[in-house]
Amino acid sequence: MNYFDLYPDVELPSFSDKRNSHKDFIKVKNLFKRGKIREDLYGDVIAFSKYTVLGDDRPDNVAHKIYENQNLDWVVLLSNNIINIRDEWPMSQFDFQRYLDNKYTRDQLGEIHHYETNEVRNSQGKILLQGGLHVDADFTFNFSEGGVSSSVNNVKSISFLQHEIDKNDAKRTINLLNRDLLSVIIDDMRQIMTYTDSSQFINRKLKRGDNLRIAEPR
């Protein structure tokens, strides 16, 4: 089911110069309506599974792989509260390279953006210092084991290029609604996209907007 097939229609006054009268209306999709996955599903740990977006896969590619229906790309997006796919979905290799070319020079890409810690463990394998923490270049970690004090300057530099790669890759881990709940969210969306009785009500999938046109003086 295509996402926009779920949207109801609204009749709005036509402002076209070719209109026949002030009573002319045009039918359009009501894009002010927006569905979302209900909160009780978000709170259910078994309702979603982690998924890693591979390569240049788009939401429709993921929907085809997981749900065997590319038109369910909207389920992929709603599962992750993605509104702006341009900023919230991992860029393709082509788009990523174009983004880098527009933002940086070749020399800038090689410059240091920040420093991060490397993971430190003790002899029993317990993590004493998490890796990936942003720190200063001269950061020193002090710890004690077996009565012996140690101090390490265990940091690594992250270039602007690596920083941008890491930012893009961080968007690859997403949540996907489990297949057995597809019927639930589709039924919910149908209900959300249905009109209830009002002064503008025509039927469950159509309402008419108010004609606010002001008559031109004669």
pLDDT tens-digit map of 79-120 = 999 989 999 999 999 999 999 999 999 999 999 999 999 999
- pLDDT at 211 > cutoff 70: no
Q: Cα dihedral sign for 181, 186, 187, 191?
A: positive
* Mean pLDDT (whole number) for 116-144: 94
Question: Average pLDDT of 3-29?
Answer: 68
DSSP string covering 20-87: SSTT-EEEEE-TT------HHHHT-TTSEEEEE--TT--HHHHHHHHHS-GGGHHHHHHTTT-S-HHH
Q: What is the pLDDT of residues 35-70, one digit of tens each?
A: 778 777 877 878 999 999 999 999 999 999 999 999
Query: Per-residue pLDDT for 155 more than 90?
Result: yes
Reported pTM:
0.75
**Which SS3 state, helix, strand or coil, does residue 4 take?**
helix
